Structure 1
């Protein structure tokens, strides 16, 4: 019996298992009696010993896998290339956003300049009636679709172009009527006010 106990104890040490793993105590604090008791429990129940041994082997293999992963070189070049590509894409998108913001400012400035121009301005417009506003139905409900301008007299219209010359405005109206926009007409504005 002593011989078997010493073999089990020797096997536990040779397998790289600390006594701490066996008894959940510091080996220096464990008495020989406690060690013998634990080894006897393994001797009496070989299944727990097998499970204990398998658990140790699994932990060793997991540790070996982790060590391999830590020793494997990290491919930083691929990561750096991906970061550079994403950064370049981000810069392109930011530049596009800035371009669109500037374009919007320029368009707004031109529209304000044309609408508030002193003197006579010829606008090509399409008037909208209240009946036309509610032609579109959404899920059985009438929905207004007007997003254009409104004159001081309450007329609603879409402005399609601003012209300084009446002949240019008339040419544009002819082009629109060729595109089946028959309701377009030239409206004269002087100093921002509609002239009938």
Structure 2
């Protein structure tokens, strides 16, 4: 899991990183700086990397072009959160935001202005439907993003049913099957159908599995 802090030079990246780390830090060059940190929230702990990147002299549009490219997809896929720091928003960030939406990115994108929003910046934030936070809200927002990411990963693992090879291994391991082979095939087929049925709830799948297990082991 990675958190990206990006913006123009001297736009509040140092303050953002120090808020995340919970301490002052000295870095000679913030562009490309990387940190590993364990976030200790009230109900969980999570380790995540913090990346710092800065827009080139050409501005956010050139940066977004590179970061929205196919070559950068592996980087985008591990981003739990993007923190955009600025004193005056750059419309060039829009291409990157559009790319994340196109890929149905499940992370969190927030804006962290270093000064009060001017009408220009506010218009860009509204257009991109971007959540604006202040430094006092940042850490709680990160904790929420990490928790949501971990929780979704756990749900995906729970939804994973047994693989075909696992079912075959179970079948072959029964050297002296308790049921005739045709009945055993029927049970395995029902398990496969239930695994792939998107309409069945987890509770229904568990109940079916228990019923079929009783037939295997009376």
Q: TM-score, normalised by structure 2?
A: 0.23
Q: Report the TM-score, using the length of structure 1 for normalisation.
A: 0.25
| Higher share in helix | 1
Greater radius of gyration (CA):
1
